Every structure is written in C-alpha cells, then in structure tokens.
Amino acid sequence: MAAEKKGLQLLDFWVSPFGQRCRIALDEKGLPYEYLEQDLDNKSELLLRSNPVHKKIPVLLHDGRPVCESLIIVQYIDEAFAGKSPALLPADPYARAQARFWADYVDKKVYDCGTRLWKLKGDAQQQACKEMLEILKTLDSALGDGKFFGGEQFGFVDVAFVPFTAWFLSYERYGKFSVEKECPRLAAWAKRCGERDSVAKNLYPPEKVYEFIGVLKKKFGIE
C-alpha cells in the first residue's frame, strides 16, 4: 500500500471558478501545493477515489485526506492553517455569519444563472438576464462603499465571488448589459481584487473564458 502523499494537492480544472477559489485561498495564505489538472471527460482514479459522492473538482488533498466542495475547502484551509495570515474569515461570530451568508448567496445564484444566460435563448434568456442583474445589484448593495466584502480586508466572500469576475465579460455579451454601468461599485471591486497577486495569478483573461463558453456550446450542440 502506497504511503499517503504528504502536503497539499489540488485536483482541479483550469477554468473552474470553484477551483480558483481554492487556488486563491492557498496563495493568500502562502501555502505551497501541487496543482493536478483533471480531465473531466476521462476522470482519474484519484479523483473518483477522492470524491466518490460527487466525482467533481475541486478536491483538496491534505496528507492524502480529501476535502470536497470549494467553500468547505476554503474554510478548511482557513481553519487547518489558522496560524497563517491572513485570516479569510473574520474573528467576530456575527461578521462570520454575514460572510457565510453572502458566500452561500454567490454559490446558490451566480453560476446557475450565468449558465442559463449563455445556454438559453429568447424569453428564457431574457429571464436569466433579468435575474443576473438582480443578483449583481444585490451583491453590489452588500458590498456597499467597502473596499472588500469584508470591509478593509480581502476575505471569504471576496474569495468566493472574485473568480466570477472573469465571467463578467461573457455575462455582459450574452446579457447585453454593462457591469460598469449597472453596478459600478462591483466593477471597481473587481478591478481592485485583480491587483492582488493571488487573483492575478489564478484567473484567466475574460476573453479566454468567453472562448471556453463557445467551446462548451459547440460541445452541447447549442448554436
């Protein structure tokens, strides 16, 4: 029986915003890890063994033990490496609850609505566009005039949402709206986050994401 690999490994897929959350969290904490790109059309033995329930990425392996679900992984990183700054979640219980609420809101709303925006046509697409604007405006409001969602410090909600900023261009093109125009505070926040090493290093250019969606559409036979 092979010895469990020591240290951190991340099973991931290059353009996944969920995977990027984990990469950003690890980099923010200055934690070295082995990045293992996965072929989602031909899933590896390691992936299937590490996440038998969902068979999805991202999966964090810590000394061989798997942690699944991106926001659970980010919290695990924050807790298992509590000695490493910065703390991604604030210390105050109420502030932590607020952070979890907004990260959960991003999780429940953004990706699914975004997918409907580029997958669907006609009225259904119009509906998705309307919803996306509502979601972004709600998040813009939650951000308020703060530097980051957590206030002065880049934290959990920022980590949860920032990967989707690389998808803004695609949402804008499919939805025919401008994030800058509709949610200027969010647009400014996205730019501010993009200046951080952990974010700049781990997000792909918006044009590349747009191209990827084009490839997906062809794959699903969507015009």
Partner 1 sequence: MAEKGVKVFGMWASPMVVRVEWALRLKGVEYEYVDEDLANKSADLLRYNPVTKKVPVLVHDGKPIAESTIIVEYIDEAWKGEYPIMPADPYDRAQARFWARYADEKCNPALFPIFTATGEAQRKVVHEAQQCLKTLETALEGKKFFGGDDVGYLDIVLGWYAHWLPVIEEVTGASVVTDEALPLMKAWFDRFLAVDVVKAALPDKDKLLAANKARREQLLSA
Question: How far is it, in rounded angstroms, from Cα 60 to Cα 77?
Answer: 9
Q: Does residue 93 belong to the site contacting partner 1 (CB under 8 A)?
A: yes
Residue nearer to partner 1 on the CB measure, 37 or 79? 79
Q: Does residue 62 belong to the site contacting partner 1 (CB under 8 A)?
A: yes
Question: Nearest Cα to 183, choosing from 143, 220, 215, 210?
Answer: 143
22 within 8 A of 77, measured Cβ to Cβ: yes
Q: Using H for helix, E for strand and C for coil, what is the string for 163-204? A: HHHHHHHHHHHHHCCCHHHHCHHHHHHHHHHHCCHHHHHHCC
Residue from 76, 111, 177, 204 touching partner 1 (CB under 8 A): that is 76
Residue nearer to partner 1 on the CB measure, 26 or 209? 26
Q: Does residue 138 belong to the site contacting partner 1 (CB under 8 A)?
A: yes
Minimum gap (Å) between residue 121 Cβ and partner 1: 26
Q: Does residue 29 belong to the site contacting partner 1 (CB under 8 A)?
A: no
Q: Does residue 100 belong to the site contacting partner 1 (CB under 8 A)?
A: yes
Question: How far is it, in rounded angstroms, from Cα 86 to Cα 57?
Answer: 25
Residue nearer to partner 1 on the CB measure, 108 or 176? 108
Burial of 17 (0-12, 13-18, 19+ CB in 10 A): buried
Residue nearer to partner 1 on the CB measure, 98 or 127? 98
Residue numbers 103-132 binding partner 1 by CB under 8 A: 104-105
Minimum gap (Å) between residue 115 Cβ and partner 1: 16
Question: How far is it, in rounded angstroms, from Cα 201 to Cα 210?
Answer: 18
Question: How far is it, in rounded angstroms, from Cα 6 to Cα 63?
Answer: 4
Binding site for partner 1 (CB under 8 A): 53, 62, 65, 67-69, 72-73, 75-76, 79-80, 93-94, 96-98, 100-101, 104-105, 138
